[in-house]
Every structure is written in C-alpha cells, then in structure tokens.
Chain A
Amino acid sequence: MIAPEDEAGFTAAIDAAVADRAPLAIEGLGSKTGFLREMQTAETLSTRNHAGISLYAPQELIISARTGTTLAALEAKLAEGGQHLIAEPPHYAFLDGADQTIGGVVAANLSGPRRVAWGAMRDHLMGMRAVTGRGEVVRSGGRVLKNVTGLDLCKLFAGSYGTLGVMTEVTLKVLPKPQATGTVVLYGLTPEVASRALAVALGSPFSVSGAAFLPQEAAMAVGYERAITIARIEDFADSVTYRVGQLGALWAKFGTVETLETAQSVALWRAVRDAEPLPIQPGDAVWRVSVQPSRGAAVLDAGHAAGLFGYLDWGGGLAFLTGPATLAAHEVVVGAARRAKGDWWLLRAPPELRRSIDAVPREAPALAAIRQRVVASFDPAGILNPGRLFAA
C-alpha cells in the first residue's frame, strides 16, 4: 500500500502507475472495499496518512479537511463549534473496520436520513482538490457557498468512487447542531399506509428532517416490538415541542401517536442512519434502492416476497434490502427498482457476486458513450479504480 502524506506523494504514485500501466485501488481506510464491483488492481493508494483539518470557519459555515481525515475526527472538530455535517453521513454497520475517511464518504456520496430535507453530501461539497489520473492537481469550487464559476467538477467527483482522481482536500458546508430532536411514532402500519403517513409529514409545514418506516423485523432489531413509522423534527427546544405536537395531530388519523424525546430520538435515528435495523448474516448482500417515495413500499414488498429484509428511509424514497448474495436475489431487487423507475446499488456482497454482475444500473448507450469520454478525460490510462462503477 502507498499512503502518501502530501499531495506530491499522490502525484508521484499516479505518475508511476501510469508509466507502469499498473491499476490502483483508491481508498481511505478501506471501509467500503466490499462495495460495488470487484476490481483487479496492482497496488493500493490510500489517503489515510493525508489527514488534518485545514480550515474551520464556524461563522462562515465552512470546514476544509484533507481527505484522509476520519469522519469521527471531523465530526469531533465540528462539535467543538456546535455544528455538524448537514447530510448526516452514515456509518453503516456493515462497513469493514471501525472508521471511514471524509474523502471516502464524499467519493461514495453517502447521506443519512436528513438527506430527504437538507440535501446529500454532494450538495454540501463546496470545493475540492484532486490529483487526476493524469497526475495533475485540479481544484474546483472554493470555500464559498455560492459559486457558478466554470463547470462544477465537485459534483462529478462526489459519488465517483475514486474513478476520476484522488481527492486530496474537501471543503464542506456545515450547519449548527440543533438544540433538540423530537420524533413522532406510529405503530404497526403496512408499508403502503406508512408511506402515506410519511408523505403527510414531509408535505407539512413543520420542517421534518427524517421520515422512515421500519417493518416489524427491522423495528425489533432496534428495540421496538412492532413496525414503526417515524418522523423527526430538529430545531430549538420550543420549536421541537410545538412541531412534534402539530405533527402528532396530523398523524392522528393513522393511529395512536407516540413521541420520543431528544436522547431516544438521537439513538433511533443514528440506528436508521447506519442501517442497524438490517438483520445481516455473514456473507449476505446489501442493496440500496432510490425511488420516487410513494414507490418505496412496492420495492420493500417485492423484496419481502422473495425472502429479503429491509426498511425505508427518505419518506419511502430509499429502500435498504439484505439477503443471500445470490443472482436470484439480485434480480429481484433490480426488477423491483426498474419497475419503480428508480436506481439501485449493490452496496456490499462477497467478491464472487460482485465480479460477475453490474453493481449499478447501466446507462442508455448515448450517455454511456459520454461517460466513457468523461472518465477517459480524467484517467486516460484507466488506472484509477478501474471497473469499480461500470464494467466498461
């Protein structure tokens, strides 16, 4: 493994890999090595030694960090300023290892429950530095919240899984941590009714910042006996009290409403964020499906009928599913996502499955041709995480 301590080290490593035509696996702490397609690489290039906060300006809502900074270290720094990452990035229970880097979180564009109201990691990436597959340093964006100067390469790099370049520094927009958190709970609903209740919450004027449905098995994994439908409010304490009450009144038509205080709420939403409700067995696969919210229930039902377990976040718009890592199970998820006109990711699976199949949907031919040209423009030798996202 090559783990440079400065940007020049990344440039040198990439230059050498290009000269040797030796593909590199790009990673931070390797927590997502088991994600998406299996790769054939000669060497690993890691950001893990390139760590540290380079700028924190709480009054400007901005933090910059070298990409090997751990998520935990970044969050601890923000906590000193009473702030947090807006997209609430998950620390999935099925990651390899105890921590992940901020570079990895941005490169995978992973967001938690708050994404439904406040945007994804890609929405808060204000600027970055990266070394491309040409060994060139490229900056995009900056440290300001509004910027339309040139093409927004930040967006292209967020979610690119290290296939365009190695990000060396990211600048993120942050927000104050809420004073209080409250949750409204409904018990025992079916997925379809739950998704209606979640739509009512998200369509209310009360600034709901989380909306999830856990079927019974998922709810039991986090300490509830029956299926739970939950909506979250985060704000100043008086606002939370008021809004939770208003939301409860709106939900009364769906059943008996209970409310959770801050401590219980924070614990429950952390579990939802981290996919803890999934009953994952060793060797199981995990899929993530993003659909129009009202179609999430059908995805969950299709999975259930085939023996997969899962739950819904983002008001029904995000389904997590887990089950045996078989082609048959994969086809069930892909079919359900396709019928719902959504997107899917084979997030985690044993290498055998990830070697033989697509990990994300194929693009239409015209878009695939553009994608190949864009990727080649950053990585002409095809040495950065080759085949991680797409086979060709």
Chain B
Amino acid sequence: MITLPKPKPDVLARRDAVHEGLRAIMQDRGVITDPARLKPYETDGLSAYRQMPLAVVLPETTEQVAAVLRFCHQNGVRVVPRGAGTSLAGGALPLEDAVVIGMMRMNRIVEVNYRDRYAVVQAGVTNLGITKAVEADGFFYAPDPSSQLACMIGGNIGMNSGGAHCLKYGVTANNVLGIKLVTIEGEILELGGTHLDTAGYDWLGIVIGSEGQLGIATEITVRILRAPEGTRAMLAAFDGNEVAGACVDAIISSGIIPVALEFMDRPAIHACEAFAHAGYPLDAEAMLIIEVEGSVAEQDWLLGQIKEICARFNPISLKVSQSAEESAAIWKGRKGAFGAVGRISPDYLCMDGTIPTSTLPLVLRRIGEMSAQYGLQVANIFHAGDGNLHPLIMFDANDPTSMHKAEAFGADVLRLCVEVGGCLTGEHGVGVEKRDLMSVQFTEIELEAQRRVKSAFDPEWLLNTAKVFPLQAGTASAGPDALPHAA
C-alpha cells in the first residue's frame, strides 16, 4: 500500500483562513470547500486511492493561477495540479492538507495559425479538442493517448503522453513549442514560443513529463500537422508471440515505418472481440494491427509490402482493410480494449512499462508465469513500434487480498521491464503508483540529481508532494527536510 505524507498540522489548523484567502483571490468564484462538492476530486483514474483535499480552486486565468500559487507559497500550503483527473498513476491524487488546482475552466483555444502550423490552447482543452478545432481545415494534433476524449493538454504536459501513433509522430515533448508555466512563487514563465529551437537550456523538455513537480502549465503552444491524404489498417494474426514479435522486427528492418504497430495477446483479442465484434481471429495467440498512410496507391503499395513480410511468418490470417470503414472496425476493438477488459473483470490495473521490442516474447512468457503464480488473469496490449507494454491485470477491488495481489503482480511486471533494459513507465507517469519503485530503476545519486532540479523550481516541495520521488526511508514526509543533500 502507498504511504502518503503526514498532513501539516499547522495548515489543517488554518483551514478556514486558507479558504477565506482563496475566496478573496478568486472573488468568490470557483473555490470549493463543501465536502459534498469536494467528493468528485478525491481520486483520479487510480481509483483505489482516495483522499479529500483541503479545497479545490478552479481558476479561469493564468493570473489567477499565479495569485493562488503565490498565496499557497506564502502560507506553506501544498498544491496538487489537476486536469481531467484521468491519471492512471495517481498523479492527481489529493492530499489532506493540499489545495487542488483544477484547470478545467481554462478551456479556450486562444489562437490557431495554419501558415505557421501551431495552436495556442489553454491547459484545460482536451487532447481531442485540439484536433477537433483544426480538422475541418485538414490539420491534427499528433499525440493521441487512449483517454484523448477526456484528458487535457495540461495533463498531457505533465505525463508527456504518447498514444498509438508515436512511432511516427513522437510524444507530447516532440509536439510542443511553448508553455506558459506558473511557478510555486507565482511567477509566470514563458518557455519556448512559436518557433522550433529555443536558445539556452531546454526548459520545455524538463517541464514536459515532470508530473506537476515544477510548476503549473496554463497555456500551451502545440504544433499542428497537416493530415496525410489517407490512412488504412491491416490485421495480421499469428499462432505465437515469438513469431509475431519476429514479424514486427522484419517490418521495421524492411525500412517501412508504419504510423501504428499494435500488438495484442490472446486474452486481449478475446476481450476486445467480445466487446467490439471487430472480426478478430479468436484462434490466434497474437495479433498485429498495422496502419500506414498516404495516397490510396501509396497505401496499396505499403500494405502489399507488409503483407508479403507477414506471409513469411505463417500467419493464421491476414486482413487488409479495403476502406476507411473497415479500418475503423479494426481499430474499434483496440481502442475499446480498456472498456472490454472492464466488462470481463470488475476491476483491472493498467500497467505501463516499456521494454526493448526484442524482449517481448521473453517478457510475455514471464508475465504468463506470474499470472499463474498470482492466480490473476492478464491481457497484454503492446505498442510494438515503441516498446510500450500495457498489461491489464484483472482483480476484484472488493476483495482486499485480490487487490493486494494485483499490486504486487504489477510491481513484479515493472521490475521485469527494468531488468530487460526498459523502464517503469512509458506514458502514464510515476505518480504515487510507481513512486516507491523508482529506486529499482535509478540509483540514489540519480534520484538526488532529479530532486535537486525539483528543488530549484520548488524549494519547499509544495507542488504535487509525495508523487514521483520515493519518500525517504523510515519517514512519511517528503521534501527538503527529508533531503539533507538538496541544493
């Protein structure tokens, strides 16, 4: 189970004064203190953990965010930034003595510039909302995490979100030009801009993926891209994970980089087919969804090449979609995977390790052994192009033993990912979920180097406390008092 830091007694004692101060800044709009209305904010996508915050503030401007942060800083109050609350790692989990700053009211698209191919959006705009705003003109915003309907660009900044298409288009860090970042001291920093390279240090790079540890992003300038002429998917099914993995290697080695290359194992295929009726082959052990883009002739040629490669690996079936509708059907099962697993199990943990692609067969075999050992089912979905593995571990949250086992199983999977040369998290972030596993991947010296960067932005460790970095051994605190070496 995950330990949260002891609330600061002096902050809890000043609860009313903090509420009053926040109301004064916000002119009585968007400050939530009533327990019934705080309830929706007590958890995020990692719903096994719940904690009511001290208050929730819903700012509408960057200046309000700055004023609230300045106030919290002056009063030693911890802050938890929140977008849509879809974090699967507990990144937005409140603390009892913390003010949650919810960005959902900052949901305006500030500017779209097609000639220079960027859009300026507020942090509370949803990921899909950006593409929706520009798609009529033929453009899109590339990173497409599964939660894109709900998740917000501010949260994508926090987690450096990816999606199914990052093999070609990269992750959030590769698609952001500028960030307006408010520091804990209430300073508004303009990082980057509307141009490609920024002089000096790469502040955008360190802020993206920092899980709210360094500041709160209020306005983001993203690159928008012209959509390709078309895209089309195909499906290839195999009778073993090894052979499917070898096929992925062969495709990449051929010089073709598909825009998406998704792998599903047998349990995932079955769950998704039962849910979406996408026509997935139920006798397969492993299945690939491969997508290419370009003109119709280019798609035909690329899919023809890929089909020839797949044919060398004794596929059980190969299905090349003939239309946009058929492609959508192929994707429907994959995109509904989380919901599909949700139908066959009351609860599931969605893990998010990354592994070198060549280790996939080994990793799946070991996960299979763990599944038998823990007595819990698991379905594996894998972004084969970029090595991001999502095992969905099924359990029953009403049964504490089952939940405990699932967490232990998940931790074992992540240790395995690090062991084979991968990492703890590809796109969900560390949050509270994987915080205590950080020492599996990093030495104490490496963690300390990261903590010092955090301290340079947030010397008192008020921002998203007790996330990302392991609490110091033997204490339930986090922050500079537990960090004798912090700069």
Contacts and interface: CB of A to CB of B under 8 A. Distances in A.
Interface in A113-165: 115-116, 119-120, 122-123, 132, 136-156, 158-160
Interface in B346-391: 354-358, 383, 385-388
Interface in B157-193: 159-160, 162, 166-167, 170-171, 173-174, 183, 185, 187, 189-191, 193
A250 to B, nearest CB: 12
B160 A144 contact: no
Given A119-B170, A155-B205, A374-B453, A207 B426 contact: no
A177 B457 CA distance: 41
B129 interface: no
Contacts of A366: 183, 185, 187, 189
A355 B257 CA distance: 47
Interface stretch (B14-22, B92-100, B295-303, B307-315): B295-303
A92 to B, nearest CB: 15
A199 B115 contact: yes
B456 A373 contact: yes
Interface of A: 57-62, 82, 109, 111, 115-116, 119-120, 122-123, 132, 136-156, 158-160, 175-177, 179, 196, 199, 202-205, 207, 236, 238-239, 242, 290-294, 314, 317-318, 341-345, 360-361, 363-364, 366-367, 370-371, 373-374, 376-378, 380, 389-390
A114 B200 CA distance: 21
B73 interface: no
Nearest to A62: B356
A317 B208 contact: no
A136 B106 CA distance: 42
A138 B445 contact: yes
Contacts of A57: 356, 358
Contacts of B62: none
Given A144-B422, A242-B295, A152 B195 contact: no
B199 A377 contact: no
Given A138-B446, A204-B226, A343-B199, A148 B487 contact: no
Report, nearest first, the 8 A-B pairs whose CB atoms are least far apart.
Answer: A155-B205, A377-B452, A373-B456, A176-B255, A360-B199, A146-B426, A366-B187, A59-B249
A150 B468 contact: yes
Contacts of B455: 373, 377
A82 B195 contact: no
Contacts of A60: 252, 356-358, 387
Contacts of B117: 199, 202-203, 293
Which residue, of B208, B443, B453, has the highest number of chain A Cβ atoms within 10 A? B453
A198 to B, nearest CB: 10
A377 B451 CA distance: 10
A153 B441 CA distance: 14
Contacts of A145: 166-167, 354, 385-388
B28 interface: no
A155 B202 contact: yes
B198 interface: yes
Interface residues of B, number: 96
B114 interface: yes
B294 interface: yes
A111 to B, nearest CB: 7
A377 B456 contact: yes
B439 to A, nearest CB: 11
B380 to A, nearest CB: 16
Contacts of B445: 136-138
B251 to A, nearest CB: 9
5 contacts: A59-B358, A144-B388, A176-B255, A239-B301, A374-B453
B210 interface: yes
A217 to B, nearest CB: 25
Nearest to A390: B200
Contacts of A177: 255
Which residue, of A145, A291, A366, has the highest number of chain B Cβ atoms within 10 A? A145
B454 interface: yes
B155 interface: no
A342 to B, nearest CB: 5
A59 B252 contact: yes
A341 B193 contact: yes
B426 A147 contact: yes
Contacts of B447: 150
B470 to A, nearest CB: 11
B210 to A, nearest CB: 6
B257 A156 contact: no
A142 B226 contact: no
Contact of B257 (A115, A143, A175, A345): A175
Nearest to B188: A366
Nearest to A163: B201
Which residue, of B249, B297, B446, has the highest number of chain A Cβ atoms within 10 A? B446
Which residue, of A144, A152, A204, has the highest number of chain B Cβ atoms within 10 A? A144
Contacts of A238: 297-298, 301
A151 B453 contact: yes
A179 B255 contact: yes
A374 B446 CA distance: 15
B197 interface: yes
Given A138-B449, A202-B117, A239 B298 contact: yes
B196 A318 contact: yes
Given A116-B196, A366-B187, A144 B450 contact: no
A176 B253 CA distance: 8
B445 to A, nearest CB: 5
Nearest to A154: B205
B35 interface: no
A149 B356 contact: no
A151 B454 contact: yes
A335 B202 CA distance: 23
A374 B421 contact: no
Given A59-B357, A146-B386, A373 B487 contact: yes
Nearest to A164: B201
